[in-house]
Chain A
């Protein structure tokens, strides 16, 4: 597909005019306007649930608009399927990685436009080309391997390579970097700049502010299914951007600081959880942690330092070679998650997609799942009690869903996280272990989850917090235990809970020269 006419920067290549789209119970888009010029990188930002993905799916024919119109090069279009959108020159990387895990890397890359001779695919050439193309994206793998054998980052790079390979005039990327490492992000940016210089329009969705300011020319901000602001990227500063996304006053955001944590808590009494010399070959080396009611204990450390392992060990999810866990002074007799939960220790795992939520069940069902044994009599579920519990947490955690009957899979990441939290809270736990509770959720939901953690601690829950976000860890924790290579190297309390002290602990804890190099750990 060659360029049909020279790109005129004033003319919009993609022009969305007052588009509305509803799902049962949700008005996802309410008269959205969105325009992209040729040769620009256009940021599309908004809180989770603002409607960004829906807008993209409407533009690319996955959904049809209820009202309004989409124009491509000034002509109204209505795509019936992503195939039609692709043929018209819109190439898309959807938020969820959309490739076929069982098929080979090469086949995924070329699916539906394989190099062929007389209708027969030239697979040798396909593999060769796939290998060359992917190496350009820093992915050096045998293209005959099934896609699922690759890491998430590499899979995402394949998706990106595929989308860019299509001769498109508009390339849409919905959170392309959420599973990429720094090095991979740089590669992606090189690709984006090259495309932009060729006059291709790029729509870029991301929650990472640094990225937006680095790569984007203009920005459209969405909130609750509406366009609230369009501007040059450089003319909107960070606080303004966040304020616009959240719909709060600028001064409000300034006062609150970067996180939503309040001051330190009153810590009272004996530890509820005593983890003593937890040991596991190659992973944990005699780690001891106490959790007290009302206290948030942070676990500091780089990737691979044993933070998640410690949490999982306490929650009974990691087999141990030695050590013990006592709850309320009573040692757990069996080391299992069931025993830990019965004793009142629950964990919110890092990967909620695979370890936690059941996307096809409703919010209600997901919440009461763990509580079922308690609210049923003779095997029958007490419906009234169930509704009561669900109602309570729905309100309490401010879960944003059309109703408790909505499927969890349809909620935004932040709200899925809240549903998970609700599930454990309805067990009335004594200790809550949180592994990266705010990863991958947007600023608004992040602030809410943070203040929830605060509230829960204030109510007397013992909380353990793991976070790679240093600010969150420092402001959220009353005490920080620093781990390095499975060993405790420092404990910060009181005024020592600060960025400087944490950095020092991380750096000094290990004499090897790799200290401080997070990407390598």
Chain B
């Protein structure tokens, strides 16, 4: 045999891959980065029309106020890309905060940070195993996780009546201090998350799982392990977010975090991640988080006189619109 089929090193050097058509690229971008585009649009409009919006102080407060909760959306992105869902993150967030406050009170910085991470990671691990090994539906498993974490929190805080305060002189407080630390932490974790998702085998396995679990299995991917790990990751991030937030508030607030999982899901979906799994990006989620935060801020300024129901209504309508636009774009892309 003189013919060698698979490695034509001689010929390949000359040619280079053809590029996508411009239209393909544009619709693709619009679908993936639609959240970013809308974000820019809304910020520009708000800066022009809303008095006091384009103000350094206002921007800073938006960013700081959402820095730690954005980590829930980051973890959620990974889970949703696999085609799963994690409803427990709001409760785990709250539990992480209480454990951090309790830990810093009794053991200083190390315990204040490690205890919530260990517990939330363990909750994630159990959820992950139930989903991957016992093959239970993620929705049910993490709904149970939501109740469990909330219950645990009630148990260690005397039904929520005891609020542990972080000692003011604890080094732990520094983790929530000022604007730079929270914003910087979130930015660093999002960048790391982006690298993890797009540039590692683990990240690629997440996409493959969400794209087609059966195919991923037949291609020889470590399906069970990947699925388990993604819930560990999400749980740990939620616990970390809760702990850092407790440092910022200097206490373990017990009634925090209710419904945060839904906000996180909304941010992820607005960011272009498919709820059915298989496609999504961390950058999109960042845009989704910011977009929701900006809208919240505007609603707070302009609609607060109508009460919180108005802001919920506006949020709901907005979410529906974004999803509608996205699905339309995705469909157009599939047809082209």
Cβ-defined contact, A99 with B8, below 8 A? no
Q: Count chain B residues whose beta carbon lies closer than 8 angstroms to a beta carbon of A.
A: 39
Cβ-defined contact, B6 with A111, below 8 A? no
Q: Which chain A residue has the least Cβ–Cβ distance from B209?
A: A100
Interface residues of B in 1-45 (CB under 8 A from A): 1, 3-9, 11-12, 15-20
Give the interface segment out of A118-126, A328-336, A457-465, A492-500: A118-126
Cβ-defined contact, B199 with A120, below 8 A? yes
Does residue A489 face the partner (Cβ distance < 8 Å to B)?
no
Which residues does chain A contribute within 8 Å of B218, judged by CB atoms? 62, 82, 92, 94, 98
Cβ-defined contact, B17 with A103, below 8 A? no
Known: A102-B211, A132-B8, A144-B20. A82 touches B1 (CB 8 A): no
Q: How far is the CA of A145 from the CA of B198 in the complex (A)?
A: 15
Cβ-defined contact, B278 with A136, below 8 A? no
Does residue B155 face the partner (Cβ distance < 8 Å to A)?
no
Known: A112-B205, A120-B195. A133 touches B6 (CB 8 A): yes
| Cβ contact of B221, chosen from A83, A133, A143, cutoff 8 A | A83
A93 to chain B, nearest CB (A): 10
A164 to chain B, nearest CB (A): 7
A326 to chain B, nearest CB (A): 35
Does residue A190 face the partner (Cβ distance < 8 Å to B)?
yes
Cβ-defined contact, B201 with A98, below 8 A? no
Known: A82-B218, A112-B220, A142-B20. A102 touches B279 (CB 8 A): yes
Does residue B184 face the partner (Cβ distance < 8 Å to A)?
no
Cβ-defined contact, A99 with B215, below 8 A? yes
Known: A136-B7, A141-B17. A103 touches B201 (CB 8 A): no
Q: Which chain A residue has the least Cβ–Cβ distance from B11?
A: A135
Q: How far is the CA of A374 from the CA of B4 in the complex (A)?
A: 61
B279 to chain A, nearest CB (A): 5
Q: Which chain B residue has the least Cβ–Cβ distance from A99?
A: B215
Which residues does chain A contribute within 8 Å of B4, judged by CB atoms? 194
Cβ-defined contact, A100 with B7, below 8 A? no
Cβ-defined contact, A133 with B7, below 8 A? yes
Cβ-defined contact, B207 with A190, below 8 A? no
| Cβ contact of A142, chosen from B8, B18, B205, B215, cutoff 8 A | B18
A510 to chain B, nearest CB (A): 33
Does residue B208 face the partner (Cβ distance < 8 Å to A)?
yes
B201 to chain A, nearest CB (A): 6
Which residues does chain A contribute within 8 Å of B16, judged by CB atoms? 131
| Cβ contact of A114, chosen from B8, B201, B215, B279, cutoff 8 A | B201
Q: How far is the CA of A102 from the CA of B273 in the complex (A)?
A: 12
Which residues does chain B contribute within 8 Å of A101, judged by CB atoms? 211-212
A133 to chain B, nearest CB (A): 6
Q: Which chain A residue has the least Cβ–Cβ distance from B218?
A: A98
Cβ-defined contact, A191 with B5, below 8 A? yes
Does residue A402 face the partner (Cβ distance < 8 Å to B)?
no
Which residues does chain B contribute within 8 Å of A98, judged by CB atoms? 212, 214-215, 218-219
Does residue A297 face the partner (Cβ distance < 8 Å to B)?
no
Which residues does chain A contribute within 8 Å of B56, judged by CB atoms? none
Does residue B204 face the partner (Cβ distance < 8 Å to A)?
yes
Does residue A314 face the partner (Cβ distance < 8 Å to B)?
no
Known: A100-B216, A121-B201. A142 touches B6 (CB 8 A): no
Q: How far is the CA of A79 from the CA of B293 in the complex (A)?
A: 50
Cβ-defined contact, A119 with B6, below 8 A? no
Q: Which chain B residue has the least Cβ–Cβ distance from A145?
A: B20
B275 to chain A, nearest CB (A): 14
Q: Count chain A residues whose beta carbon lies closer than 8 angstroms to a beta carbon of B.
A: 47
Does residue A177 face the partner (Cβ distance < 8 Å to B)?
no
B4 to chain A, nearest CB (A): 7
**How would residues 177 to 188 of chain A score, 1 for a CB under 8 Å from any chain B CB and 0 otherwise?**
000000000010
Which residues does chain B contribute within 8 Å of A144, judged by CB atoms? 17, 20
Does residue B321 face the partner (Cβ distance < 8 Å to A)?
no
Which residues does chain A contribute within 8 Å of B219, judged by CB atoms? 82, 98-100, 111-112, 162
Cβ-defined contact, B6 with A191, below 8 A? yes
Which residues does chain A contribute within 8 Å of B205, judged by CB atoms? 111-112
Does residue A127 face the partner (Cβ distance < 8 Å to B)?
yes
A367 to chain B, nearest CB (A): 26
Does residue A280 face the partner (Cβ distance < 8 Å to B)?
no
Cβ-defined contact, A100 with B278, below 8 A? yes
Q: Which chain B residue has the least Cβ–Cβ distance from A165?
A: B6
Does residue A17 face the partner (Cβ distance < 8 Å to B)?
no
Which residues does chain B contribute within 8 Å of A94, judged by CB atoms? 218
Does residue B200 face the partner (Cβ distance < 8 Å to A)?
yes
B204 to chain A, nearest CB (A): 6
Q: How far is the CA of A94 from the CA of B218 in the complex (A)?
A: 8
B273 to chain A, nearest CB (A): 12
Q: How far is the CA of A144 from the CA of B20 in the complex (A)?
A: 8
Q: How far is the CA of A311 from the CA of B267 in the complex (A)?
A: 48
Cβ-defined contact, B200 with A120, below 8 A? yes
Q: How far is the CA of A101 from the CA of B214 in the complex (A)?
A: 12
Does residue A86 face the partner (Cβ distance < 8 Å to B)?
yes
Q: Which chain B residue has the least Cβ–Cβ distance from A143?
A: B17
Interface residues of A in 159-201 (CB under 8 A from B): 161-162, 164-165, 187, 190-191, 193-194, 197
3 closest A-B pairs (Cβ-Cβ)?
A100-B211, A132-B12, A83-B220
| Sample (29) of A-B pairs whose CB atoms are under 8 Å apart | A82-B218, A83-B222, A85-B220, A98-B212, A100-B212, A100-B216, A101-B211, A102-B278, A103-B208, A107-B207, A111-B221, A112-B221, A116-B200, A119-B200, A121-B201, A123-B198, A131-B12, A132-B7, A132-B8, A133-B6, A135-B11, A135-B15, A136-B6, A137-B6, A141-B17, A142-B17, A143-B17, A187-B5, A194-B6
